[in-house]
Structure 1
Amino acid sequence: MSNFLRGLGGRNPRQQPQPARRSPTTPSSAQFADMPGQLQQYGAAPSSPHSPGKPLYMCQPFVKAALVKGSFKTIIMQPKYSERMEWIAVNIFDFFNNLNLFYGVLTECCTTATCPTMSAGPMLDYTWVDHNKRQIRLPAPTYIDYVMTWVQNLLDDESTFPTKAARDFTPNFPNTTRHVFKQLLRVFAHIYHAHYPALLHLHSEGHFNSLFAHFLAFGFEYQQLDVRDFKGVGVAALVDKWREMGVLDGQIVPSTGGPV
């Protein structure tokens, strides 16, 4: 283990220094193979009032809003003397921290009343798989709290994200990181679907678009995201649009073929 990850030791990306709460439905490593977190499609009214038409994030000029211009290739390039798993671990820490900060300013908009389900698009809801392998619908703030608590617990677990010398990553680490990316993708998808107007009100669309584009570019480059993760996800159309625009230029980004 090199010094690359040791800077994470003792750091807590949560906004408040509260102890991590493990939900009774939080998945464990042993459940990963059986926890697809499948999407259910049904006829309930979507949580976003603008969802029946073209989503705001797909409209001009918002779809072009960004802080980073050009390719993300340089940003995501692995440093010469780092190890691949270390580089992935550090970036997961940063993606989680930044996404957590964005969601933190949206919590007043994301309530059990406004977001009774974890919606990612019209008639598209994520379901959580509990310890009995039952798919259950949760309000979006509850689902996101479970995700953020689960990722926080992983980051705080020295056996999963080692920061001390002489500690190595476990053989299951790649499987763990792919599940982290999948769950963070769902948080991104919900924010785009249900809370993009709030980001526009805060003039933060360029920041959030750049964070998501960075997340996508890194995830595809290092095989942390799969095209199947986008099946049925509302932001699949945004991924395809950015690929056409060259935002994800140089990345191996297969067409998602997903609906808006």
Structure 2
Amino acid sequence: MSTALKQVFNKDRTFRPKRKFEPGTQRFELLLMDWIEVQINNEHIFPTNVGTPFPKTFMQVAKKILSRLFRVFVHVYIHHFDRVSQMGAEAHVNTCYKHFYYFVTELSLIDHKELEPLKEMTSRMCH
């Protein structure tokens, strides 16, 4: 594990930066993506061998990852969507968000209260 990642893990290996980073800053986003990659590559959490059982904490970890990814969508839509539109990527980001939204809501992976920041946009886009 990189030194930078060791600086943001708590004892329980959750992503809680020991140093304060403003959520939405590039440094925060990069550390978050690194943390997610570490979780996904951890064979104790995401086993790759057939017959290896998933741990009891699997759903908890998966939900935490998805919850944090939702916050990235919130940040992009609130702070960077004008740039996304300028690049002509609006339809791509919207499609990615819709797939994400349908996935997490269909399987109840994110509490509806956590989805509040994009509720209005989501209701126009997904309902």
TM-score bracket relative to the smaller structure:
0.7 to 0.9
Q: Is the aligned partner of 1:220 residue 2:105?
A: yes
**RMSD of the TM alignment (CA)?**
2.4
Q: Contact 2:45 / 2:54 at 8 angstroms: preserved in 1?
A: yes
Letter in 2 for 1:223: S
Relative to its length, the structure with more strand (as a share) is: 1
Q: Contact 1:162 / 1:169 at 8 angstroms: preserved in 2?
A: yes
Aligned partner of 1:198 among 78, 83, 102: 83
Q: Which has the higher contact order (CA 8 A, sep 6+)?
A: 1
**What is the alpha-carbon distance in structure 1 between the residues aligned to residue 10 and residue 36 of structure 2?**
10
Q: Contact 1:23 / 1:146 at 8 angstroms: preserved in 2?
A: no
Query: How many residues are paired up?
Result: 125
Does the C-alpha gap of structure 1 residues 220 and 27 become closer, same or farther in structure 2, counting only changes over 3 Å?
A: farther
Can you give the 5+ residue segments of structure 2 that lack an aligned partner in the other structure? Answer: none
TM-score (norm 1): 0.43
TM superposition shift of 1:31: 6.6
* Runs of 4+ with deviation above 4 angstroms: none
Q: Is the aligned partner of 1:147 residue 2:21?
A: no
Does the C-alpha gap of structure 1 residues 208 and 229 become closer, same or farther in structure 2, counting only changes over 3 Å?
A: same
Relative to its length, the structure with more helix (as a share) is: 2
Alignment of 1:10-159 (within 5 A): 22-26=5-9, 30=12, 129-131=16-18, 136-138=20-22, 140-159=25-44
